Amino acid sequence: MILPQFDVLVPETVNEACAMLAEHAEHGVRVLAGGTDLLVNLRRPIITQHVPRCDGCRTHPEGAVSSTIDCTMWESEPLMASGGSLRTLLRDQEKTSPEFLVSLHKLKELKNIRRSDDGGLRIGALTTLAEIQRSPEIRQDYTALAEGTDNLGSPLVRNRGTLGGNIVNARPAADAAVPTIGLGAMLTLHGKSGTRSVPAEGFPTAPGKTIIEPDELLTEIVYPLSPTYSGSAYYKLANRKALEISTVGVAVWVILEKPGGPVADVRVALGAVGPTPILAKSVPAVLIGKVPDKAAIAEAAEAAAGDCRPIDDHRGSAWYRVQMVEVLTGRLLKIAVERAGTTT
Amino acid sequence: MKKIISLTVNGVEHELAVEPRRSLLELLREDLGLTGTHKGCGIGDCGTCTVLVDGVATFSCLTLAIQVEGCSIETVESLAENGRLNELQQAFVDQGAIQCGFCTPGMLMTSTELLRRNPHPQEPEIRRAISGNLCRCTGYQKIVEAIKTVAGENDE
């Protein structure tokens, strides 16, 4: 058996889940939704024990995980960054492996897509990415989100993986989180002491880190009303069409005052070009009030490129990513404007 | 501590005591002896462990047995009818879509889900549907052709 030892708690209600998270916060507890990230991450430390040890590279003392595999990868993993001997690694791992998983599979009330009172859309956090991908309503009114799920992982990942999981995992390249930010969604966090609603762009704070409290559960993702003359789009730039992590992901949402007319509001969200998915904050000032012609779109695309903070890695250089943000933002704005003009 | 769960596998109800960390894959292979479902990468990259959980193609390696309590599971062993390969399996054989056979159970279950959802998919949809299943020997073409054979017959 490859997974570490843990006990699985199965709450029947959201409140019960929050109580379990609070009770076991000190012993190490993780939330299990689809499992496509969590169960992989829990196994990883055990698998890497078999990786040859480093013979002393820039970042690791002798005996750490081999540099020939991917030392930079481990720098982001606190578990492995400690370096040292296999024994140290094993000891650290025991400390960081959760004692409990809270599995949400019985919380069927978090698995739904429905209209909110103001005409927006509320998606339960346990709704799978495949369910989102196949929803005609989402593809029509929240196209960027549907397109975000189109090339996320693989069909099998989308069958299990959930929207809430993709957001809470807080990976910088998360293909469903980026359009969620672009579409101006609010996240509902339910905790022991009540419920709060936070904007999606303020939720992640660093790779894998968010503002969620230990006793809180993301229960719902609430997308605002999609106005009559609005359109959105997402593009994932990646080397393969499946089982790939984005080099750059761009989501745009445009609201026009009338077809072809001035821009009433615009949001551009960027993935894999910063420590979290980010909102390109300088775009609205450049585009709102203007007719979205070629020149205005080019200016907005340049503004988006100025907002991103990418790093160099094996998927692409920082320079390349900045160029791609500009190119893709321009293309997607054009597409979104066209969609805004034809929406009924 | 082990927990008692009940689930239906290929139409047969089972009640089993499982360790919390036991995967559905381990339950199928080790507890029930259904070794048709293969273990590949164990991290959701290869798809050979795919089974249907309430009709949805699912990595059995990344699913805990506890999570499928009360669910209906279908494995590759459920496909044959009266001891004979079903149409899809026969098409895989006829088209040479099986070589080493390692990816085959996953390919069959993933394409079974596809053909139930859409009995006559076009080639691009077939290719997309199996994009989470890795094959290292037939090069996919023959697998796609096998699925197309069945999709074509469904058309008529």
Indicate which CATH number applies to the domain containing A122: 3.30.465.10
**Model confidence pLDDT, tens digit, residues A72-98:** 443 334 333 333 444 444 444 444 678
User: Are residue B52 and residue B109 in the same domain, yes or no?
Assistant: no
User: Which of A128, A156, A243 should be substituted to probe chain B, the one whose Cβ sees the most B Cβ atoms within 10 Å?
Assistant: A156
- pLDDT tier at A343 (50, 70, 90 boundaries)? very low
The pLDDT of residue B116 is 97
- pLDDT tier at A42 (50, 70, 90 boundaries)? confident
Given B24, B47, B77, the domain boundary residue is B77
User: Is B82 part of any domain?
Assistant: no
User: Are residue B20 and residue B69 in the same domain, yes or no?
Assistant: yes
Asked if A267 contacts A279 with a C-beta cutoff of 8 angstroms, the reply is: yes
Return all residues near A159 (Cβ < 8 A) that are at least 6 apart: A128, A130, B56, B57, B58
Report CB contact under 8 Å: A156, B50: yes
The pLDDT of residue A3 is 85
**Model confidence pLDDT, tens digit, residues B89-121:** 999 999 999 999 999 999 999 999 999 999 999
The pLDDT of residue A73 is 40
- pLDDT tier at A153 (50, 70, 90 boundaries)? very high
User: Are residue A260 and residue A187 in the same domain, yes or no?
Assistant: no
Residues A134-161 have a mean pLDDT of 97
Given A62, A79, A103, the domain boundary residue is A103
User: Are residue B60 and residue B16 in the same domain, yes or no?
Assistant: yes
User: Is A108 part of any domain?
Assistant: no
**Domain range enclosing A167:** 113-223
Given A69, A103, A137, the domain boundary residue is A103
**Model confidence pLDDT, tens digit, residues A11-22:** 999 999 999 999
- This model of the complex carries an ipTM of 0.95
User: Are residue B27 and residue B72 in the same domain, yes or no?
Assistant: yes
User: Are residue B43 and residue B91 in the same domain, yes or no?
Assistant: no
Report CB contact under 8 Å: A154, B26: no
Residues of chain B with pLDDT under 50: none
User: Are residue B8 and residue B59 in the same domain, yes or no?
Assistant: yes
* Residue A261: pLDDT over 90: no
The pLDDT of residue A95 is 46
User: Are residue A207 and residue A248 in the same domain, yes or no?
Assistant: no
User: Are residue A254 and residue A274 in the same domain, yes or no?
Assistant: yes
Question: Under an 8 Å CB criterion, which residues of B touch A?
Answer: 1, 3, 19-23, 26, 42-45, 47, 50, 56-59, 62-64, 66-67, 69, 110, 128-133
Starting at the edge strand found earlier in the chain, the sheet holding A100-103 runs A7-9, A100-103, A29-32
User: Is A1 part of any domain?
Assistant: no
User: Is B47 part of any domain?
Assistant: yes
Q: Residue B97: what residue type?
A: A
* Residue A57: pLDDT over 70: no
- Burial (CB count within 10 angstroms: exposed 0-12, middle 13-18, buried 19+), residue A279: buried
User: Are residue B150 and residue B103 in the same domain, yes or no?
Assistant: yes
Q: Residue A6: what residue type?
A: F
Closest CA to B4 of B66, B61, B54: B66
**Domain range enclosing B33:** 3-77
